[in-house]
Amino acid sequence: MQTLRGRVAIVSGGGNGIGGAIASELAARGAKVVVNDIDAERAHRKAAEIGPAAIAAPGDASSSADVRAVVTLAIEAFGKVDILVNNAGMDQAVPILDLKEEDWDRLMAVNLKSAFLFSKAVLPGMIERGYGRIVCTSSVVAHRGAMNGGIHYGTTKGGMLGFTRTLARQMAKTGVTVNAIAPGVVDTDLIRTHMPDDVREQVIKDIPLGRLAEPFEIGRAVAFLASDDAAYMTGATLNVNGGFWIG
């Protein structure tokens, strides 16, 4: 189970939901975890829940200054960064004709620019050591399109796959692998709070396995990609969605 012993991970958007589950699963496999979240309370609560293996690093993942501060904190605390999970994200159910330009820009910054900033900040150390694992959170909507009308959300998740594959090519000779995870609908507090019961029931009917994903199932898939068991994978996408993307 201790497949990540001695490794140090940063999880952006790691305070709760999918990111929180990822942070917990990495720690359960022996990694030291730096929990980044724009909400300081969430970051500290998750780090405390994990215990001594984790520290909180609050900050805006779309801010270059905040990202540099998070990476600096990780190195000061644990000496290095081996694993980066680009998970920071937000959603907004707005059809294109009602979408404001500033909302488009904000979602692009949080969901996509953050991956660029964090990756650029950790890569020099990874390249120097000849080892690194970068995992990017995309979504089933990259394949199906956003079901709730959030065209900017769907665009960022498709963009994350392009980012993953291109960075994987650039890093292929350095010892750094770059892969993506594309979850389906995950049974998080956010979904339980904001998805109407009738919509939830229809979504479940459309999923071949007949249920939503549990957050820990996404965390375990990320833990695999972050481990040496996935050493021969780069530029790949794990579609953890119960078959939802089939049709």
Q: Where are the domains of the chain?
A: 8-241
Residues annotated as part of the active site: 153
74-128, pLDDT tens digit by residue?
999 999 999 999 999 998 888 999 999 999 999 999 999 999 999 999 999 999 9
Structure tokens at 243: 């078959």
Q: Is 220 exposed, middle or buried (0-12, 13-18, 19+ CB in 10 A)?
A: middle
Residue 1 and residue 220 in contact, taking contact as beta carbons nearer than 8 Å:
no
Q: Tens of pLDDT along 160-199?
A: 999 999 999 999 999 999 999 999 988 888 777 767 788 8
- Right CATH for 8-241 from 3.30.43.10, 3.40.50.300, 3.40.50.10470, 3.40.50.720: 3.40.50.720
